[in-house]
Structure 1
């Protein structure tokens, strides 16, 4: 993994197996399918339920600084703990969590390259035992929203020649052929299509069949062919921000792009806004 701009952002399954009893490492499983953890998880891992644990119940936003501090403290995480994230769907929600935790300033963050898919394929152990850790007092920094895009910023960027929008959804969603993803009605919008000028680079093209990331050379070629280069200001989006966080991770951690933001409002917001421009 030394070929990537920030190889320290990834660990392989062998590294995880060697650190299962490391008290300074906390494994966090974040899945799209929230029932998978109960079916079996990597020993020592805690469960992050994205629908509950990091959502503000009264607004469409994330937990605030205090909320994250309480969550990490409950899991026995300190500011020096190495957090290792993984999940299903080639780490959709693991990458989303990485992006969120980065906003609050946690330094030692890593993804398991290949996530659950690779761990399972190698026949590595799972457990149903839920770990319990002694509570700590975690201190988060105020949210750094420079890696997060909001709708007004996206709208203003439509007339900026240095801004590049990446729609990481499927070609059918991008074209407007598909309004609602199958089995995801909660991610719906009033209209189908894409944000004007957005390039369609589905998140899945960055992954190998075993769930690991493609090589730096392959990844660079994918984006360069769509005029996505490090000198541009880049905004990625999908429907709710989890797939586009995966792309944010690829661009910033694997390729070293510095000006990338994730528009987590994504299509569920944009596709329902009054007078927001769309293309099909």
Structure 2
């Protein structure tokens, strides 16, 4: 009888923590990554940051795909390539939508989350983010090397999820829609235009610095901490959340925080960001 009661208690406790566990399934730590690589032969690990960091050292077997390589050419900086071009690029780089894809960067979360959003936009179902925490990596005995790994070309078949992309029309509508919250994740002096290179922010936007989603070690904060942060700013789960920065690199950090940790149902990234907006509109200070 005591054993039955014990089992019931365990099940109840598990049910209470289940939402948090599922909310963060796409965010893994070093120990989970090591176990994943051992159990899943379909894993492709991607260093999503800068080439200089990859060349200095990187996870053994990981391939380099710089976030900059996914940008289209043109006057507006940072716009992603078309879905067809992105799929072709990822396939040639060694990634298929059928892979388990693990992304990491230099630890800032900016580049791994940007790549995460791109792959989810293309419909890749199994994408993970591994935070570069040196202490965790050391404890898990993850192997770092300087020898590059080249991915084997494959085919990436996209299945675009347009629901996570905000267009300029969505951003324009957000100013007069109480059910939408537009969030500029840049630093406060960029948002208000006091920073030398900044012209201000998109009218109607509120400001939450992307660094406020992270701890001192640049890991994501807990769901409770994030909830207190965003709800104070008026970003509740019943609203559509649109995030942006200069080129929506930092905006992707906010996207992952809202989508994966807080489990908000309607979260979008404005890929065009400030750079596209200023081609047709004025900013506000």
TM range (shorter): 0.7 to 0.9
Q: Give the secondary structure class of the aligned counterpart of 1:262.
A: strand
Structure 1 residue 100: Cα displacement: 0.8
Q: Which residue of 1 aligns with 2:199?
A: 192
Who is 2:102 aligned against? 84
Aligned: 1:101 with 2:107: no
Correspondence for 2:10: none
Equivalents in 1 of 2:124, 2:152: separation in Å? 19
Map of 1:253 onto structure 2? 260
Match of 1:169 among 182, 186, 211: 186
| Structure 2 residue aligned with 1:55 | 71
Aligned length: 264
Pairwise CA RMSD: 2.3
Aligned residue number for residue 146 of structure 1: 163
Aligned counterpart for 1:279 among listed residues 273, 276, 284: 284
Partner Cα separation in structure 2 for residue 250 and residue 72 of structure 1 = 25
Quick one: structure 1 residues 69 and 165, their matched pair in 2 at CA, closer, same or farther if it must change by over 3 Å?
Answer: closer
The CA distance in 2 between the partners of 1:85 and 1:177, in whole Å, is: 34
Give the structure 2 partner of residue 42 of structure 1.
59
Q: Pick closer, same or farther for the CA change 1:228–1:117 going to 2, 3 Å.
A: farther
> Structure 1's 11 and 57: CA in aligned 2 closer, same or farther, altered over 3 A?
same
Alpha carbons of 1:35 and 1:160: their partners in 2 closer, same or farther (altered >3 Å)?
same
More off after superposition, 170-179 vs 116-125? 116-125
Matched, 1:67 2:85: yes
SS at match of 1:35: helix
Report the Cα distance in structure 1 between the residues aligned to 2:85 and 2:272, rounded to whole angstroms: 20
Do 1:28 and 1:47's aligned partners in 2 also have CA atoms closer than 8 Å? yes
- Cα deviation, residue 5, structure 1: 5.2
- Note the C-alpha offset of 1:35: 1.3
Match of 2:247 in 1: 240
Aligned-residue offset at 1:139: 1.6
Matched, 1:125 2:143: yes
CA gap 1:210/1:124 in 2 versus in 1, 3 angstroms = farther
**Are the equivalent residues in 2 in contact too, given 1:117–1:211 (CA < 8 A)?**
no
CA distance in 2, matches of 1:5, 1:179: 42
Once residues 4 and 205 of structure 1 are traced to their aligned partners in structure 2, the CA distance between those partners, rounded to angstroms, is 22
- Stretches of structure 2 that go unaligned for 5 or more consecutive residues are 1-16
Corresponding residue SS for 2:128: strand
Q: Normalising by the residue count of structure 1, what TM-score does the alignment of the two structures yield?
A: 0.85
> Matches of 2:255 and 2:45 in 1, distance apart?
21
How many Å separate the matches in 2 of 1:138 and 1:76?
A: 9
